[in-house]
Amino acid sequence: MLDPKFLRNNLDVVAVQLARRGFTLDTGKLTDLEAERKVLQARTQELQAERKSKSKEIGLAKKNGQDVSEILSAVAKFGDELKAAEIRLKELQDETHALLMMIPNIPHESTPDGKDEDENVELRRWGDIPSFDFAVKDHVDLGAELGDGWNGKGGLMDFENAARLSGARFSILKGPLARMHRALIQFMLNTHTEEHGYSENYVPYLVRPDALRGTGQLPKFKEDLFAIEADEEAIEADKQLHLIPTAEVPVTNMVRESILDEAELPLRLTAHTPCFRSEAGAYGKDVRGLIRQHQFEKVELVQIVKPQDSLSALDELLGHAEKILQLLNLPYRVVALCTGDIGFSASKTFDLEVWVPAQETYREISSCSNFGDFQARRMLARWRNKATGKPELVHTINGSGLAVGRTLVAIIENYQQADGSIRVPEVLIPYMGGMEVIR
RNA sequence: GGAGAGGUGGCCGAGUGGUCGAAGGCGCACGCCUGGAAAGUGUGUAAACCGUAAGGUUUCGAGGGUUCGAAUCCCUCCCUCUUCGCCA
């Protein structure tokens, strides 16, 4: 959420900044709401102050054994007006808040302008794109042909069977492929906790709407989430559980409604979780196979930092994600997302895109964003500034380190051999019980 | 799921209808003391919101109710702890 105070005092400036990302701010609506709110709030508070002082008078008078009937009737006179004012004020505040919750973050000044992903800016490339002296296959074909005879049928990557259980966009991994998937998770977590200073967390996969509002998935992106069936009462009480679309939600919300000591910062948190997304995007070659699933695994990196540190922390976190690709020797590039492509809550985002040989292109494998105080304000996550003695909003940063399924895709395709077998990346061999090739 | 006990400021903890946003302690900040530190000691220190400010409003798990007035009384719900049952 944007700072409501800043917003109403700089409506036109904010509108211009939001226009950079293609969002049209309804300034007229906000102005109208604000005008009515201001008058009403002043009046309401005036009446409340009146009631408060009168009530104190009554208390004193009673104690002194004086007659209070005169004061009582004075209070009764404006009771109805006060009640009506309070109700209307609440309505106005709720309406304004609902509007505010639908407004995306302001892009950071360093975020390049652009209307969509075509205008993202490539910053650098790493690694050598492998050349093959045979026709490369994609991971779907490779996976289906691997493990001949393994448990009878279906290859090591089986979408047909998964579809029978769960429908489209689910997958089954078997044998050494399932193990490599698990190996990747261990490898990523070990690297981040042992080399990059993150603390490991195990977190809930089901969360309440408040947590999702905190990080920005709600209220605007309800259709992308899987919700658990709940009765009217639970929904009314705002307790309906949702499957997490990313570990960002439970991990970032670990600091919600708290005031952190300055000495505790920065917090570097990591967690491996499954992620569930119901997004019903178009099918096509570029989302074939394991690329876009309703259920996938991810190792997430989150940092909670002081505002002045967030830009450098984003660079640092990006480096931590890059390190995984480097250790796996997977070629990738770093892309700065333009204003038209950054997510709702983000002010600045770098994507890591890994080389996918079968598509002869780079595909997103990690998205690292600085949210500024946007999520912190929604969560009421603060730190105590020693200089001022006051609580101030933290800044939040997160990124995938990495998406496990897509990393598996990248390994399968980049490490494929002419006979359809897959070499195991050097760093994963210990995690694979010494296995060097998957056949 | 049953029974019992609880949910108060950054933390602990007092407070059962009125001058309570709330004693006391811890922590923190600044000062005194000290060669320096610790100890001791003095003062200050909840948050959110409105307001340029002065100042004001709200908040004692959440929501509703009673009342001129609620941390305090009533109702509903949530959560935590203990215990029994069940279970991985």
pLDDT at A196: 97
Q: What is the token pair recorded at A410?
A: 């990248």
3-state secondary structure of A15: helix
Residue A434: left (phi > 0), alpha (psi -120 to 50), or beta? left
Asked whether strand B has any atom less than 7 Å from the CB of A129, the reply is: no
Contact A143, A155 (CB under 8 A): yes
- CA to C1' distance (Å), from A53 to B67: 16
d(CA A239, CA A397): 27
CA of A386: nucleotide with nearest C1': B29
Q: Cβ within 7 Å of strand B: which of A 389-408?
A: 389-391
Residues sharing a CB contact under 8 Å with residue A235, sequence separation 6 or more, in sequence order: none
A225 sits in the region (left: phi over 0; alpha: psi -120 to 50; else beta) called beta
pLDDT attached to residue A108: 96
Strand B at less than 7 A from CB of A5 = yes
Strand B bases, protein C-beta under 7 A: 10, 18-19, 28-29, 45-51, 56-58, 68-69, 77-78
Rounded average pLDDT over A87-113: 92
Question: How does the average pLDDT of chain A come out, rounded?
Answer: 91
Measuring alpha carbon to C1', the residue closest to nucleotide B18 is: A59
Position A230 scores a pLDDT of 79
Q: Residue A240 contacts by C-beta under 8 Å, 6 or more apart in sequence? A: A208, A209, A227, A228, A230, A234
Residue A285 pLDDT class (50, 70, 90 cuts): low
Q: Which residues of A are catalytic?
A: 277, 292, 364, 367, 406
The answer on pLDDT for A151 being more than 70 is: no
Q: A191-194 long-range CB contacts below 8 Å, 24 or more apart?
A: A191/A323, A191/A324, A191/A327, A192/A270, A192/A299, A192/A301, A192/A320, A192/A401, A193/A270
Confidence of residue A110 (pLDDT cuts 50, 70, 90): very high
Q: Which nucleotide shows the minimum CA-to-C1' distance to residue A260?
A: B10
- pLDDT for the residue numbered A356: 96
CA-wise closest residue to A120 among A133, A107, A139: A107
Which residues, other chains included, contact A366 with Cβ-Cβ below 8 Å and sequence gap of 6+? A321, A351, A352, A399, A400, A401, A402, A403
Q: What tens digit of pLDDT does each residue of A33-44 get? A: 999 999 999 999
What is the C-alpha to C-alpha distance for residues A309 and A314, in angstroms, rounded to an integer? 9
C-beta within 7 A of nucleic chain B, residues 49-108 of A: 49, 51-56, 58-60, 62-63, 72, 75-76, 79
How many beta carbons lie within 10 A of that of residue A404, not counting itself? 25
Q: What is the rounded CA–CA span in Å between residue A253 and residue A250?
A: 5
Nearest nucleic acid nucleotide to A56, CA to C1' distance: B18
Q: Give A388 CA → B27 C1' in Å.
A: 17
CA of A75 to C1' of B51 (A): 26
Distance B34 C1' – A414 CA (angstroms): 69
Q: Which residue minimizes Cα–C1' distance to B52?
A: A9
Nearest CA-CA partner of A182 in A288, A193, A190, A250: A190
| Reported confidence tier of residue A152, pLDDT bands at 50, 70, 90 | low
Give the closest nucleotide to A384 (alpha carbon vs C1'): B10
Q: Please report where in the chains the tokens 């922390």 appear, as a residue.
A: A313
What gap in Å lies between CA A436 and CA A438, rounded to an integer? 7
Assessment of whether the complete model's pTM goes beyond 0.90: yes
User: Given pLDDT bands bounded at 50, 70 and 90, which one contains residue A284?
Assistant: low
ipTM over the 0.85 cut-off: no
Interatomic distance A94 CA / B57 C1' (Å): 17
Q: Which of A326, A374, A381, A321 lies closest to A352 in space, CA to CA?
A: A321
In the 174-233 segment of chain A, residues within 7 Å (Cβ) of strand B are none
pLDDT at A283 over 70: no
Residue A384 CA distance to nucleotide B37 C1' (Å)? 27
In angstroms, the CA A241 to CA A295 distance is: 17
Q: Is the pLDDT of residue A154 over 70?
A: no
Helix/strand/coil (H/E/C) assignment for every residue in A174-239: CHHHHHHHHHHHHHHHHHHHHCCCCEEECCCCEECHHHHHHHCCCCCCHHHCCECCCCHHHHHCCC
pLDDT digits (tens, 9 = 90+) for A381-401: 898 888 887 889 999 999 999
Helix (H) or strand (E) holding A283: none
Per-residue flag: A263 CB under 7 A of strand B: no
What is the average per-residue pLDDT within A318-339? 98
Quote the pLDDT of residue A418.
96
pLDDT in tens, A410-433: 999 999 999 999 999 999 999 999
* Statement: residue A282 has pLDDT above 70: no
Integer Cα distance of A207 and A293 in angstroms: 20
Listed in sequence order, the residues at least 6 apart from A165 whose beta carbon sits closer than 8 Å to its beta carbon are: A172
Cα A273 to Cα A405: distance, rounded to the nearest angstrom: 12
If you average pLDDT over residues A101-109, what whole number do you get?
95
> In angstroms, how far is B57 C1' from A176 CA?
64
Q: Quick one: average pLDDT of A115-130?
A: 96
pLDDT in tens, A210-261: 889 999 998 899 889 998 887 777 777 788 889 999 999 999 998 888 888 8
pLDDT, residue A240, reads 85
**CA–C1' nearest nucleotide, residue A37:** B50
For residue A366, the cross-strand partners are A352
pLDDT recorded at residue A150:
64
- Return the percentage of chain A with pLDDT > 70, whole number: 97
The residues pairing with A273 across neighbouring beta strands, listed in sequence order, are A298
Report the alpha-carbon distance of residue A2 to residue A339 in Å, rounded: 17
Task: Read off φ and ψ for residue A258, nearest 5 degrees.
Answer: -135, 160
A342 CA from B85 C1′ (Å): 52
Cβ A239 to strand B below 7 Å = yes
Grade residue A294 by pLDDT with cuts at 50, 70 and 90.
very high
Q: Which of A16-25, A253-262, A273-282 has the highest mean pLDDT?
A: A16-25
Where are the strands (E) in A56-138, listed by range?
Answer: 121-126
pLDDT at A339 over 90: yes
Single-letter code of the amino acid located at A268: R
